[in-house]
Amino acid sequence: MSSLAGQIGMKQIVLDIGNTRVKISDGVCCAAAAHRQEDFLDRFAECAAKFTEAAGCCSWWIASVNRPVLAQVRKWLAEERAGEPVTVLTYRNIPIRMNVDFPERVGVDRLLAAVAANELRDPDRPAIVADLGTALKVDLVAQDGVFCGGAIAPGLRMSAVAMEEQTDALPCADVDAMLGSMKANEISSLGRNTLDAIQAGLFWGTVGTIRELTAQTSAHLHTKPQVFLTGGGAGIVRDALGDGFLYVEEMVLKGLWAAVRELSGE
% residues pLDDT > 70 (the chain): 96
* Domain formed by 104-156+187-252, architecture: 2-Layer Sandwich (3.30)
Domains of the chain: which residue ranges? Answer: 11-88, 104-156+187-252
The catalytic position among 16, 26, 109, 139 is 109
Entry pTM: 0.91
Mean pLDDT over 99-118 rounds to 98
d(Cα 200, Cα 190) in Å, to the nearest integer? 7
pLDDT tens for each residue of 211-262: 999 999 999 899 999 999 999 888 889 889 988 999 999 999 999 999 999 9
pLDDT tens for each residue of 120-131: 999 999 999 999
Q: Do the beta carbons of residue 158 and residue 206 sit within 8 Å?
A: no
Mean pLDDT over 62-85 rounds to 96
Please indicate whether the domains covering 11-88 and 104-156+187-252 agree at the CATH topology level.
yes
Looking at residue 7, its pLDDT comes to: 54
d(Cα 141, Cα 97) in Å, to the nearest integer? 10
**Residue 131 among the catalytic residues:** no
pLDDT tens for each residue of 225-236: 999 999 988 888
Looking at residue 96, its pLDDT comes to: 97
**Inter-CA distances, 245 with 87, 119, 156, Å:** 33, 17, 19
* Domain formed by 11-88, architecture: 2-Layer Sandwich (3.30)
d(Cα 94, Cα 14) in Å, to the nearest integer? 14
SS3 176: helix
Is it the case that residue 3 has pLDDT exceeding 50? no
